[in-house]
Chains A and B, each alone.
Chain A
Amino acid sequence: MIQINNISKSFGDRKVLNDVTFTFESGKTNIIIGQSGSGKTALIRCMVGLNEIDSGEVLYDGRSFHTLDFKGKKEIRKEIGMLFQGSALFDSKTVEENVVFPLSMFTDLSEAEKRERANFCLQRVNLPNAGKLYPSELSGGMKKRVAIARAISVQPKYLYCDEPNSGLDPKTSIVIDTLIKEITEEYGITTVVITHDMNSVLEIGDNILFIYNGVKWWEGNHSDILKTTNQELQDFVYATKFMKELKTKF
């Protein structure tokens, strides 16, 4: 479980997060939604300490992250898997080496065991034959999937995914959503997913946090969200023609 209490963050004199409080439950897919630029990425970067927060606290199963020193933070980070919005694959390493990398750093598995684990992860993201390729030889969606494989290779307790299915076709997108939901439930991971995709929200969103201009505007689950009366959330949810049509059917 990750709890955030009253998080605020400014870049210069621009306030991008304002007093955000939320609980991300374990074994659940917690989804953050919001318009582009509303502060979603900034929020998770603050939660993992890549950006300093101005005020508030982040608790990883009760452990207050920002009061820890470098070493204490490191211990928590070893339990975190993260998919960056831009994938952030190591471009000097092959796909397989990327996935093996965190295992080499922190486990004493043999070469064969590591490779086996890497191939298992690559299989789960539907990329069984890409191990020998370099990131520059992959499509955007393939990079995303390799990055997911890398994030889950060490069996994290906390998993962050920044737009896991942007740039994926609808079918692969569902494969990824299902994978995220499955491993979350299977291993009791606390998963935080940022997405724009209403399909994913409805498919896998257990807890949903809607951020509007850096403020928590709404929270709830996927059955509440369709019935919302919150104007800004409605604008977000029913932005597409498809969703609008869906709404008239209720």
Chain B
Amino acid sequence: MNPLFHFGRYVILMKRAFSKPEKSSIYISRIFEEMNILGIGSLGIVAIISVFMGAVITIQSAFNFESPLIPIYAVGVAVRDSMILEFSPAIISLILAGKVGSSIASEIGTMRVTEQIDALEIMGINSAGYLIQPKIIASVLFSPVLIVFSMFLGILGGYVFGLLTGVVTDYEYVYGITYSFRPYNVFYALIKAGVFAFIIASVPAYHGYYTKGGSFEVGRSSTKGVVYSSVLILAFDLILTQLLLA
């Protein structure tokens, strides 16, 4: 269907989701609930992926830097910069778009087709606010935790596997990761991750919320939520990189 139609309906849904809550205490506990599901529940997969990414970058760059002109500590620099600038914010967000996005879209989609959303509306509850807002807030608030956690584990993974395989020494790696370090890069990564976290929660929520039909359509909404949020993450990755780094 028409992308402008979807964009307009998405904006209206977000406006409704962020209107004043019925009862703040309930919203706050909803946010913690969602942080637990979306955030804490993702620590495991983020940890595994980050360690392996750090390890692979270490071994690959050591292999590529086999030139006497490039000092071996450049491996540490490469791991640090690729983890902080791109892998932790963008790749982890793409993975989360798959994991978190599909669960959000199917949860909300199922609630739509089983009339649970109608039941909320009938009670006089703003269903968009109640269901979607806590997910977005939890996702955005928790994203710095996940991303810093990922950066740390990626760099640690590189260190451990670098030493185990003997491609770098302890001293060179540590020298590399501290070599002309720019804290701004971490800030840039956190901004990116925050934007991606908003996309990861809101786009699948939109697709779930407007599901029509039955379980088949819930599956389709879930797929659409993941695909569209992933594409948007890539697009915003480009835009934000241009805006913040150029």
12 pairs of residues in contact across A and B, judged by CB atoms under 8 Å? A50-B122, A74-B126, A77-B121, A77-B123, A77-B124, A78-B123, A90-B111, A105-B22, A105-B23, A105-B124, A106-B22, A106-B123
Whole-angstrom distance between the alpha carbons of A82 and B119 in the complex? 8
Whole-angstrom distance between the alpha carbons of A80 and B124 in the complex? 8
> Whole-angstrom distance from the CB of B35 to the nearest CB of chain A?
16
Q: Which residues of A contact B23 (CB under 8 A)?
A: 104-106
> Whole-angstrom distance from the CB of A122 to the nearest CB of chain B?
17
Q: Does B114 contact A (CB under 8 A)?
A: yes
Total cross-chain contacts (CB, 8 A): 52
Q: Does A224 contact B (CB under 8 A)?
A: no
Q: Which residues of A contact B123 (CB under 8 A)?
A: 77-78, 80, 101-102, 105-106, 154
Query: Quick one: which of B22, B111, B118 has the most chain A CB within 10 A?
Result: B118
**Is B22's CB under 8 angstroms from A88's CB?**
no
How many of chain A's residues touch chain B, expressed as a range? Answer: 20 to 34
> Whole-angstrom distance from the CB of A96 to the nearest CB of chain B?
16
**Is B121's CB under 8 angstroms from A86's CB?**
no
Known A84-B115, A90-B116; judge A77-B122 contact (CB<8 A). yes
The closest CB in chain B to the CB of A154 belongs to B123
Chain B positions near chain A (C-beta within 8 angstroms): 22-23, 26, 111, 114-116, 118-119, 121-126
**Is A86's CB under 8 angstroms from B114's CB?**
yes
Whole-angstrom distance between the alpha carbons of A75 and B79 in the complex? 57
> Whole-angstrom distance from the CB of B43 to the nearest CB of chain A?
22
Q: Which residues of A contact B26 (CB under 8 A)?
A: 104-105
Q: Which residues of B contact A90 (CB under 8 A)?
A: 111, 116, 119
Q: Which residues of B contact A86 (CB under 8 A)?
A: 114-115
Q: Which residues of B contact A77 (CB under 8 A)?
A: 121-124
Within 8 A of B (CB), among A88-109: 88-91, 101-102, 104-106
Which of the residues A74, A78, A88, A105 comes within 8 Å of B116, measured between beta carbons? A88
**Is A88's CB under 8 angstroms from B124's CB?**
no
> Whole-angstrom distance from the CB of B115 to the nearest CB of chain A?
4
> Whole-angstrom distance from the CB of A80 to the nearest CB of chain B?
6
**Is B125's CB under 8 angstroms from A88's CB?**
no
> Whole-angstrom distance from the CB of A50 to the nearest CB of chain B?
5
Q: Does A48 contact B (CB under 8 A)?
A: yes
Known A104-B26, A105-B22, A105-B23; judge A88-B121 contact (CB<8 A). no
Whole-angstrom distance between the alpha carbons of A50 and B121 in the complex? 8
* Apart from the given pairs A76-B124, A88-B119, A101-B123, 13 other A-B contacts in the complex at a CB distance below 8 Å: A50-B121, A75-B124, A77-B123, A77-B124, A80-B124, A82-B119, A86-B115, A88-B116, A88-B118, A105-B123, A106-B23, A106-B123, A154-B123
**Is A106's CB under 8 angstroms from B115's CB?**
no
Q: Which residues of A contact B22 (CB under 8 A)?
A: 105-106
**Is A84's CB under 8 angstroms from B124's CB?**
no
Q: Which residues of A contact B122 (CB under 8 A)?
A: 48, 50, 77, 80, 82
Query: Quick one: which of B26, B119, B121, B125 has the most chain A CB within 10 A?
Result: B119
